[in-house]
Amino acid sequence: MNQTIYPIGIQNFEKIRKDGYLYVDKTALVYQLANTGSYYFLSRPRRFGKSLLLSTLEAYFQGKKELFEGLAIANLEKEWMEYPILHLDLNAEKYSDAGALESILRRFLNLWEDRWGKDDREITPADRFTGVIRRAYEKTGRRVVVLVDEYDKPLLQALENAELQETYRAILKAFYGVLKTMDGYIRLAFLTGVTKFGKVSVFSDLNNLDDISMREPYAAICGITEAELLTYFDGDIHKLASSLELTYDETRSLLKKRYDGYHFVANVPGIYNPFSLLNTFKYMRPEDYWFETGTPSYLVELLKHTHYDLYELANTETDADVLNSIDSTSSNPVPVIYQSGYLTIKDYDSEFKIYRLGFPNREVEEGFIKYLLPFYTSVSAPKTPFEIG
């Protein structure tokens, strides 16, 4: 019996490929990214596959051709060269004070210096980062690949602490700014996060980043499209239909209502939540899997302090500048809620460049009410709960 192994919580591309987990092939987009630009930023909600995307890029730039057999990139890449890689993951730490960020940066810098050498005259994280990039290039003769996972985790955890956020901002601004000053030594830099902080903030010294978060060619680089659902999960849909005593079409409709509907670009097909889909097929039950993993603490804290009217959320209108930027001094929670995946693009007025936002699907709409509504104190009783249509 051929039993599908679903990669729930598995973020390592090599492990997925070697251990026989199901993999939805995104490697054509990986190849396109790697060969048409040098500096990228991608914002996507939690558990949408950002870490797996970086791991896939890492394996590609390590030249591990054997891992990509049978995938789209195998017919595109001919050289399979190995590059020095610096992979920084800020996701695992709890950032409660300035020392926490400095500690994790030192940890990664120590690992990199163990491999590429160190210079005791380099003291600050930015100076040491500069030195490591230069030495990695000089020792290999090849430009360096820099991958940063969850670049914004420290800033999000300090969203309600202006002083601590300013400290983190100063450290990260100098650190990420190295990527621009060392441009001649860098093959590719790719940063991911849930949110994008304002241009006057962390990225002001790294203004050559190509933000692909709302670019049509990369709308489906994370998550699962309708076409991918039918290609990789058609048998699972039939099994789920039998389990729920529904027809095949009824089951597809149920999945679409519960988990589809994410639009990171206006006027393109929706994206399914990959975490919820994989869990649904593993356990043959459609439940609120994404919400049950927990509400991000930064969002909870923001909702405690906001005076935004929840009743307006279902039909919020805004422009791209608001969606693309977060400012710790702003009382508008919409950018954080949108970038965290609780709102999505429903429509776009090209004449006035205005986006209409709403809940992407039933899982998010019901979950928002169940888990997040209690944190809103400014909503009058007659306006809640929402009517779930």
For 76-108, write each residue's pLDDT tens digit. 999 999 999 999 999 877 898 889 999 999 999
Q: Average pLDDT over the chain, rounded to whole?
A: 88
Residues 296 and 375: beta-carbon distance below 8 Å? no
Domain boundaries, the chain: 13-218, 226-291, 294-375
Q: Is the pTM of this model over 0.75?
A: yes
CA 115 vs CA 110, 140, 175, 271: distances in Å = 9, 12, 20, 40
Q: Are strands 354-358 and 186-193 parallel, antiparallel or unpaired?
A: unpaired
For 132-190, write each residue's pLDDT tens digit. 999 999 999 999 999 999 998 898 888 778 899 889 989 999 999 999 999 999 999 99
Please, which pLDDT band fits residue 369 given cuts at 50, 70 and 90? confident
Please, which pLDDT band fits residue 378 given cuts at 50, 70 and 90? very low
Q: Which of 235-249, 298-312, 368-382 has the lowest mean pLDDT?
A: 368-382
- What's residue 329's pLDDT? 53
Please, which pLDDT band fits residue 330 given cuts at 50, 70 and 90? low
Mean pLDDT of 296-323: 73
pLDDT at 370 over 80: no
Whole-number Å distance between alpha carbons of 385 and 295? 19
CA 36 vs CA 30, 63, 88, 188, 210: distances in Å = 10, 18, 23, 10, 11
> What's the 3-state SS for 172-225?
HHHHHHHHHHCHHHEEEEEEEECCCECCCCHHHHCCCCEECCCCHHHCCCCCEC
- What's residue 258's pLDDT? 97
Q: Which fold has domain 13-218?
A: Rossmann fold (3.40.50)
pLDDT at 200 over 60: no
**What would the two tokens of residue 366 be?**
């019901």
- For residue 140, the number of C-alpha atoms closer than 13 Å in the C-beta half-sphere is 22
pLDDT at 233 over 80: yes
- What's residue 302's pLDDT? 72
Q: Which of 183-192, 213-222, 259-268, 295-304 has the lowest mean pLDDT?
A: 295-304
E strand segments, the chain: 39-43, 85-89, 144-149, 186-193, 210-211, 317-319, 344-349, 354-358
